[in-house]
Structure 1
Amino acid sequence: MSQQSQTSETRQGRRSWRRKVALFLLIAIPAGYMAISAQKSRGSGEDKQENAAATGLTHSWPSKVQRRIYDTPIPSYSVDVAFYESNSWKRSQMYVQFVTNPKGLDKFLGRLGADRDVLNDGRITIDAKTAGVVGWKLDADGKWAGGVIDQKDPEPTLDITVDFDNPDHPKVYVVSTVTP
């Protein structure tokens, strides 16, 4: 065999090998990317499904966007903050609870354009069925005061009930309802 034909065969062998590797990479890289993306997407969907199926309060602060949409300006330094959001075609609601001090309660009401006059002693404005959604027990025993803040659409309606059993640290319950 001549040296020239041997060199030609070697070149063809290298080209063939390079083509095979290039073809493999052209198929394997996108396939791998698609598999990883599908897995991440599936995981994301499962997380969203879990969040949507969650019932009860989430013990943390609602996002700033949620607080703005539902007009629930929780005062700084509040504790035992928890919330739950419920959405449907007809209405969206956010349930919020927090413990504050008298100054914080006044600040909360003030940001809503109201004051303590909106709260009526002995009144519980959140009915048992609504409260039961998140496990609140707002019964007649206790020092309650409540009021409703009706705002012009598209602003939410706020049902506010305050537990004054500890007047230095009132516990505020709010159900904010937005209707499209």
Structure 2
Amino acid sequence: MIRRRLITLTIIVLLIGIPAGYLVISAGQSRRSGKDKEAEASAQGLREDWPSGMQRRIFELPIPGNAIGVQYYETNNWKASRMYVKFRTTSAGLDRFLSGVGTGRAALETGKVTIAERDVKITGWYFGPGVDWAGTVHKNKKPRPTQNITVNMTDPAAPVVYVVSAATP
């Protein structure tokens, strides 16, 4: 009789305890996830981190794996969504990035800065004299994004890439 009650009590504890424990763990994870998303949504300016894989796919930004100093910022409104990205890579990494976007090094025009003044104000980037700039604009049919690419070629072995990828619905 005592053994039967012990088995019944154990079953009841397991039937209630396991789901309750799962709910507590799940709620904690969900809350942390929400805080991460809130921090990203409230970001003002460039973040020193890689954009998520989904963001890179949406904005068609194939950042090379060897890129360093990656920074990004995303803005969204009813007219357009923009992703601002800056990173340093190698000469081969620049070629991989450009071909991944759908263009090539031959499209880069020496001395051309393709980032608009409006975007410069948002990011705080500086495109002044004394730097070997090269730029191109890679246009796609809507709804695919258009990429304005400007590269600091002062050190050809380690170029710094600035990109504004804009998607309009």
Indicate the residue corresponding to 1:29 in structure 2: none
Q: Deviations over 1:118-153 (max 9, x none)?
A: 110000000232122121112233100000000111
The answer to whether structure 1 residue 80 and structure 2 residue 69 are counterparts is yes
Indicate the residue corresponding to 2:167 in structure 1: 178
| Native 8 Å contact 1:128 1:138 kept in 2 | no
Indicate the residue corresponding to 2:60 in structure 1: 71
Change (3 A) 1:113 1:42: closer
The answer to whether structure 1 residue 157 and structure 2 residue 155 are counterparts is no
The answer to whether structure 1 residue 111 and structure 2 residue 96 are counterparts is no
TM norm structure 1 = 0.73
Amino acid across the alignment from 1:64: G
| Native 8 Å contact 1:60 1:81 kept in 2 | yes
- 1:15-34 paired onto structure 2 within 5 Å: none
Number of residues of Structure 1 aligned to a counterpart in Structure 2: 147
Indicate the residue corresponding to 2:87 in structure 1: 98
Amino acid across the alignment from 1:151: N
| Native 8 Å contact 2:102 2:138 kept in 1 | no
| Native 8 Å contact 2:98 2:104 kept in 1 | yes
Change (3 A) 1:90 1:140: same
Greater alpha carbon shift after TM alignment, 52-61 vs 168-177: 52-61
Task: Give the unaligned 5+ runs of structure 2.
Answer: 1-22
Query: What percent of counterpart residues are identical?
Result: 45
Q: Which one has the largest radius of gyration?
A: 1
Change (3 A) 1:118 1:54: same
Task: Give the unaligned 5+ runs of structure 1.
Answer: 1-32
The answer to whether structure 1 residue 51 and structure 2 residue 40 are counterparts is yes
| Native 8 Å contact 1:55 1:134 kept in 2 | no
The answer to whether structure 1 residue 124 and structure 2 residue 80 are counterparts is no
CA distance in 1 between counterparts of 2:115 and 2:136 reads 9
